[in-house]
Structure 1
């Protein structure tokens, strides 16, 4: 009788779950992400994850070579979501600079684009590990470069583009880190003023309305869950 498992490390998702294999690579990765966010990288341990999913830790090795392999996968996912999304939003087509900033701010309200809690978890991780610190520095540089290019695209001079990109980026990081628990209606009411401060340009009413509708749709989904 052939007892060789169907699943294999190099492409585990290409085959269905069979036999004693009860979880997928994404299951391991998603739970590891949750633990990273809630408890920190020190708690992202194979045995800990296996116990939470009520599976043998041996199944972990169908998908990852080691704990470090899993940690590298977490960092790759962070880069492929948060950093890539912010850059994509900065590069998205827009008629005006205020509309472009609204595109970027979609990352603030849509966790599918940008997971703020994950970003904070990686920043905390970076305080403990030089490799992660270097990756974070590179990511911040790429994000700022995209924002700088966004302002330059609308005619801002080089130094002003750099300064406004920094104000926009660092303000948002600090805003989220402060965890103000600000009422949503208050936050939305300040959007026109924020846009003016970030750009020096008065936003069009329809731009503010479109962003408010976008933000409200995501906040309503959160309230229902």
Structure 2
């Protein structure tokens, strides 16, 4: 039987997890998030996580009062990563609305700004929990309000800003759900056209180039 701990650690150079293992609060939380994404909230259980890390369940209670405390921490991380991350991107300075949407597109590329897999896991969780459903509805409202505010900063009327915010937000959710696995060159070839469709304005060449460079460097860095 393989008893090697299965941990998700943000720092790959961290002390090897062998021998007398001491796990941290982040170890529990990171693994719980991985399980939430891959297996659903029903599998986020203390015993299951402890077995995966080959540690005693008792260490869990150094960091969390209960399983519900852990679940609440997962929701707090989701809000801090996805909702707060998206809103922060809409507030970044840009000379044009197309430049502002390019800032938002960074969320599509970098999961540190917006973790799509985590968002879909929470949406699935919301089907089973009224509390999570209410949190999700509030989060969606906050995201849409931030997007509409972004458009209004560039002179769009209230109704047009809200409409374009919805088109942009719901299109991106659907795009991610489709999991198209497009080659990077194909995906980037649409950027200028997406920008025009979302804003009604042609982007500057330097905006498209800057975003494309960011996306290429990020994806190539992750894929080695």
TM-score normalised by L of structure 2? 0.90
Match of 1:119?
119
- Please give the alpha-carbon distance, in whole angstroms, between the structure 2 residues aligned to 1:142 and 1:51: 38
Q: Choose 213-222 or 42-51, whichever is displaced more.
A: 213-222
- Please give the alpha-carbon distance, in whole angstroms, between the structure 2 residues aligned to 1:174 and 1:182: 15
Match of 1:177?
177
What is the Cα deviation at residue 65 of structure 1?
Answer: 0.5
Q: What is the 5 A alignment of 1:93-132?
A: 93-132=93-132
Runs of 4+ in 1 over 4 A off after TM superposition: none
- Please give the alpha-carbon distance, in whole angstroms, between the structure 2 residues aligned to 1:82 and 1:216: 22
Unaligned 5+ residue runs, structure 1? 1-19
- Please give the alpha-carbon distance, in whole angstroms, between the structure 1 residues aligned to 2:199 and 2:78: 28
**Are 1:149 and 2:149 counterparts?**
yes
Q: What is the 5 A alignment of 1:14-33?
A: 22-33=22-33
Tell me if structure 2 keeps the 8 A contact 1:21–1:59. Answer: no
**How many residues end up aligned between the 2 structures?**
205
What is the Cα deviation at residue 21 of structure 1?
Answer: 7.0
What is the Cα deviation at residue 223 of structure 1?
Answer: 1.2
What is the Cα deviation at residue 109 of structure 1?
Answer: 0.3
- Please give the alpha-carbon distance, in whole angstroms, between the structure 1 residues aligned to 2:77 and 2:188: 30
Unaligned 5+ residue runs, structure 2? 1-19
What is the Cα deviation at residue 184 of structure 1?
Answer: 1.0
Match of 2:88?
88
Q: What is the 5 A alignment of 1:5-20?
A: none
- Rg (Cα) greater in structure: 1
1:133-152 Cα distance to aligned partner (Å, 9 max, x none): 00000000000000000000
Match of 1:133?
133
**Are 1:216 and 2:219 counterparts?**
no
- Please give the alpha-carbon distance, in whole angstroms, between the structure 1 residues aligned to 2:81 and 2:102: 19
Match of 1:56?
56
1:44-77 Cα distance to aligned partner (Å, 9 max, x none): 0000000111100011001000000000000000
Match of 1:95, SS state, is coil
TM-score normalised by L of structure 1? 0.90
Cα RMSD for the two superposed structures: 0.8
Match of 1:162, SS state, is helix
Match of 1:162?
162
